[in-house]
Amino acid sequence: MSEKKQEIAERLLDGLLDHLCERLTPAQLEGVITQELDYLLAQSDRFSLSQLVSVEQVQTTARKYAVQMDISGAIPELVGDMVERFYDHGIQGQRQIGEVLDESAVEAFLDKLLEIPLSQHGVAWLGRNPVLLAVLAGGAQMGVKTVLHQSLPAPLRAQLLKRLPPRWLASLELRLQEWLLRRTEQLLSDPYLYRDDNLEELRDLVLVAWQDFAQRPVAELRELISSEDIQELFVIVFEYWRELRHSDYFNSLLDTGVQAFFDKYGDSTPGELLAELGISREMMLDDALRFAPPILAVLQREGLVREWLRRQLGPYFASESALAILEEGL
């Protein structure tokens, strides 16, 4: 009797596996996916995000991937290969820069840049920086000397250099440098320079320069920056981030960000959160029907779906409780 129960249980298991595998074939899979997705979306409205996961769980997971996970050197290498492809593809043809970056975006960025106090204070700070002042004054001094050198006739210049004592020339050059340094500092510290109408003129100058730049082919960017430059910049930023992510400051920012997310969406249902993020049922269904059928087809062909189902259901059909139920029905 025991052998007969086990035989029946095995036949029931095989029948159930046949049924489930049939449900996962392309002929029926679309209906199954649509039905299950609608069911999940309907049931998701019963729970809030905070009921399903906690802030601490998400913070722990975020720290694991953002801080603790060891980052392979293959990532910079992959990014380098992608940058090389993007760069080669992007600079082909005669597409103009203005077609890639719209002027309205440039105007919006420029307006915001000139609006924020950081920009104006930053320029004022540069005006008080002694190194910058020295560089600007030195450049102006070199310009003055070049103009005098080119404007004076060679015989007159030679006579002046011959008649003026060297110490006079050195003193004159030192006085010129000091005067230029004072005038540069006064100019950059003058509040008039940062008035709204002057900033508006600066904005117009930048936009005029942009209009000329926007008409150039994208291919000309090759002369300004190479793919190697982009890759090296990425490596610099990547290495900086690798160090930053281990700091207490970054961990505090990460936890604060997760907490802010839960403060805003913790009481929302998963369906409401998806809608807020712009993810619709149609988008999810489209992606599921794009990826699930070919993946399941391969798994079905290799027998892995049936094998997985047997591993999950087989122990039950071989259990004493299942055999006892069969015995009651015999």
Residue 87 maps to a domain: no
Instruction: Say which DSSP state 223 is in.
Output: G
**What's the pLDDT at 88?**
79
Q: Which tokens belong to 67?
A: 């801080």
The reported pTM is 0.69
Domain count along the chain: 2
Last residue of a domain, one of 180, 200, 216: 216
Range of the domain at 36: 1-47+269-298+312-330
Q: Which tokens belong to 274?
A: 């998806």
Q: Are residues 104 and 35 in the same domain?
A: no
Is 309 a residue whose pLDDT tops 90? yes
Last residue of a domain, one of 154, 188, 216: 216
Q: Are residues 210 and 100 in the same domain?
A: yes
Residue 263 maps to a domain: no
Neighbour count for residue 22 (Cβ, 10 Å)? 10
Chain centre to alpha carbon of residue 222: 23
Is 27 a residue whose pLDDT tops 90? no
Helix axis angle for 130-151 and 117-128, nearest 10°, is 60
Instruction: Lowest mean pLDDT of 30-34, 223-227, 305-309, 318-322, name the range.
Output: 223-227
How far is it, in rounded angstroms, from Cα 167 to Cα 119?
44
Is 263 a residue whose pLDDT tops 60? yes
Percent of the chain residues topping a pLDDT of 70? 73
Q: Which tokens belong to 285?
A: 């269904």
Rounded mean pLDDT of 222-240?
A: 84
How far is it, in rounded angstroms, from Cα 205 to Cα 296?
60
At 79-105, the pLDDT tens digits run 888 888 887 777 666 778 888 888 889
Rounded mean pLDDT of 264-287?
A: 93
Q: How many helices (H) and strands (E) does the chain have?
A: 18, 0
**What's the pLDDT at 75?**
80
